[in-house]
């Protein structure tokens, strides 16, 4: 006797197969943070870089108090390019990093630090990046990698590195991918330490007691 649910089972199996086939790549991209380039590079959207102060806060201090902002140049000076090389593994899904490498979904990144924005030969950049102008400075790269869609609305790259220390490592590594790496920016001068407070008295003046002297004997008038 034929199973009355036979065709339902076949349909369910096909539906599961389709969900796995189309859903797994999307799930993998979401777990990677959406990938570097979720949209087509031919989009036209002329939005220049917004400019705002570059100040970053580390994790909150114990007790819920926010710690002091950290100067990004200071983080760069302490960054390990080798750690940045490991973080750049994510970039390789869209970019090549070696000198003379071909463009992929994104442009080749050799020499990216310091070069003009949207200038790499043979790559079709979005209108958003073409309208930005200027060069890829350390500060610009830092803000772009932190949240590319927020910093350059309309760019095709979709990437977020929320931790400033990790961005510093990545950018220090990218800076090493050059025949002439740029000199790192000078860290902000540390605030001078406050002198210790002077000890204060209770306001009472110290009065030295006079020294008692023995009476001298007067000579007799005899």
Q: Please tell me whether residue 57 adopts helix, strand or coil conformation.
A: strand
Domain boundaries, the chain: 37-55+69-176
Query: What confidence category does residue 167 fall into, taking pLDDT thresholds of 50, 70 and 90?
Result: very high
- Close Cβ partners of 59 (under 8 Å, ≥ 6 residues apart): 67
∠ at Cα 195 (192, 196), nearest 5°?
Answer: 140
Please tell me the pTM assigned to this model: 0.60
DSSP structure class, residue 37? B
Task: Quote the CA–CA distance of 93 and 35 in Å, as a whole number.
Answer: 8
pLDDT of residue 165: 96
Out of 11-25, 129-143, 175-189, which region has the weakest mean confidence (pLDDT)?
A: 11-25
pLDDT of residue 8: 72
Strands 56-57 and 69-70, sheet pairing? antiparallel
- Give the angle subtended at the CA of 129 by the CAs of 127 and 132, to the nearest 5°: 110
Residue 159 or residue 6, greater confidence: 159
CA 97 – CA 36 distance, rounded (Å)? 14
At residue 88, does pLDDT exceed 50?
yes
Q: Let me know the angle formed at the C-alpha of 53 by 131 and 35, rounded to the nearest 5 degrees.
A: 55
What is the model's pLDDT at position 43?
Answer: 35
Q: Which of 178, 168, 187, 175 is nearest to 83 (CA)?
A: 168
Is the pLDDT assigned to residue 97 strictly greater than 50? yes
Residue 106 pLDDT > 90 = yes
User: Residues 6 or more apart from 40 whose CB is under 8 A from it?
Assistant: 156
Residue with tokens 């008295």: 201
More confident residue, 48 or 60: 48
Of the options 3.30.1370.10, 2.60.120.560, 1.50.10.10, 1.10.760.10, the CATH number for the domain spanning 37-55+69-176: 1.10.760.10
pLDDT higher than threshold 80 for residue 198: no
Q: Evaluate if residue 24 carries a pLDDT over 60.
A: no
According to the model, what pLDDT value does residue 207 have? 42
Please compute the mean of the pLDDT values over residues 5-22 and round it to a whole number: 70
| Pick from 57, 54, 66, 74: nearest CA to 190 | 74
Mean pLDDT value across residues 27-55 = 43
- pLDDT bin (cut points 50, 70, 90) of residue 20 is low
pLDDT at position 192 is 58
* Residue 44 DSSP label: -
């Amino acid at each position: 006797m034929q199973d009355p649910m036979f065709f339902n089972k076949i349909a369910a199996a096909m539906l599961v197969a389709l969900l796995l086939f189309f859903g797994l790549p999307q799930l993998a991209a979401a777990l990677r943070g959406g990938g570097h380039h979720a949209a087509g590079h031919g989009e036209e959207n002329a939005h220049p870089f917004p400019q705002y102060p570059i100040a970053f806060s580390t994790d909150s201090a114990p007790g819920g108090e926010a710690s002091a902002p950290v100067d990004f140049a200071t983080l760069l000076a302490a960054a390990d390019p080798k750690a940045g090389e490991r973080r750049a593994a994510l970039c390789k899904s869209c970019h090549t990093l070696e000198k003379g490498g071909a463009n992929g979904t994104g442009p080749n990144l050799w020499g990216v630090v310091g070069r003009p924005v949207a200038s790499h030969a043979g790559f079709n950049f979005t209108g958003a990046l073409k309208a930005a102008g200027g060069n890829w400075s350390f500060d610009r790269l830092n803000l772009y990698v932190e949240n590319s869609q927020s910093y350059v609305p309309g760019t095709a790259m979709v990437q977020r590195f929320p931790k400033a220390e990790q961005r510093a490592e990545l950018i220090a590594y990218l800076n090493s991918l050059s025949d002439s790496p740029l000199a790192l920016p000078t860290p902000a001068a540390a605030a001078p330490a406050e002198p210790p407070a002077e000890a204060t008295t209770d306001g009472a003046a110290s009065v030295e007691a006079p020294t008692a002297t023995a009476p001298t004997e007067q000579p007799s008038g005899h």
